[in-house]
Amino acid sequence: MAEKIRQTCLHDSHLALGAQMSPFAGFDMPIQYAGITPEHLAVRNSVGMFDVSHMGEIFISGPDAERYVNHIFTNNISGYAPGKILYGMMLYPDGGCVDDLLVYREFEPDSFLLVVNAANIEKDYDWMLQQQNGFDVRIDNRSDVWGQIAVQGPEAEKTVLDVLGLSCAKDLGFYEYCNSQWNGNRLIVSRTGYTGEDGFELYAAIADTKEIWDILLKAGVQPCGLGCRDTLRFEAGLPLYGDELSAEISPIEAGLGMFCKLDKAEFIGREALVAQKELGTERKLVGIEIEDRAIPRHGYPVELEDGTQVGEVTTGYHSISLDRSICFALVKSEYAKLDTQLWIHIRKKTFPGKVVKKRFYQTNYKK
């Protein structure tokens, strides 16, 4: 029997707005409304908003919460004050990635919020439960009772302050959050994002999420679909689980070692990453700029001039912001040096390109 496609709390609004819908991560999600290009440019130049209510929220609490989170998380949350957010991964013992996620250190003692990818909610929750032995913690999957809206772009702060009146947002630094209220319910306001621009994620109860979305719509904020969410994150050099990270792709291979604190006493997968750092990896994730307007796609071969395959594309687009064809590719490490000449096989032709830095676009985060 086919898996039932789920809907977010804003599904009716997407349909009313005429969004192009498509299954993603088990949810019926909007891909575009006005079009990928105008939505992309709205976020780069002014402000746009995304329904990201499909993401997962899992709360960890209890006397051993900090020790437990550090056990399953590659980054190190020790010493961080309440209101701070860290990015990192959960790993299998062999260094493969269970998921990449955000960890929020709550203002209540011994309490954390873990925000995980929509496609991995149940897998992540089961994995966390499996690692619970020996830790006095409570693991509470609350994904079904939280909605989430991302407000992104140079005018995101003005929008959140003036349209929604969320005054606590003004003083937030990048990767910080505050607690507010909406209709007497908790509202989490975090200064994070997945676009390369300044922005906020608003976590609220289901009914409150609908109300906030409608207020933003009436204020003229451009609704944006997952199509431009992908083009925006890609230009900013941000990974997507399933493309640049997976059970078969480690953070070291993906160039995300800075989020794996190997000086921690222990975490699941640490030994594998230490070995990869010491011995090197057979593959590395690189950026490639193509000397043509042809568009590379996921899975396309990366080759040498003689046709020998040395890797494959993980994500590729003709960049909307930069007007050039670029991609991420996982290639043999000996071909990962900057300016290395490589060829992308696109349909029946090959196109030359060179290895460049993975952050294609100059990000504009709040410092």
What phi, psi does 338 have (nearest 5°)? Answer: -55, 140
Tokens of 217: 């719509």
pLDDT tens sequence across 214-236: 999 999 999 999 999 999 999 99
pLDDT given at position 6? 96
pLDDT of residue 265: 92
Which whole number is the average pLDDT over 297-307?
A: 97
How deeply is 348 buried, as exposed, middle or buried, from its count of CB atoms within 10 A (0-12, 13-18, 19+)?
A: exposed
pLDDT at 77: 97
Strand partners, 89: 100
Closest CA to 190 of 160, 212, 162, 164: 160
pTM over 0.85: yes
- pLDDT category at 2 given cuts 50, 70, 90 is low
pLDDT of residue 23: 96
Average pLDDT, the chain: 97
Q: Is 109 exposed, middle or buried (0-12, 13-18, 19+ CB in 10 A)?
A: exposed
* Residue pLDDT, tens place only, 342-354: 999 999 999 999 9
Domains of the chain, first to last: 11-54+144-235 (3.30.1360.120), 282-356 (2.40.30.110)
Q: What is d(CA 210, CA 227) in angstroms, rounded to the nearest whole number?
A: 22
H or E element that contains 197: none
pLDDT at site 1: 45
pLDDT in tens, 267-280: 999 999 999 999 99
Q: What number of other Cβ atoms are within 10 A of residue 337's Cβ?
A: 10
- Residue 274 has a pLDDT of 98
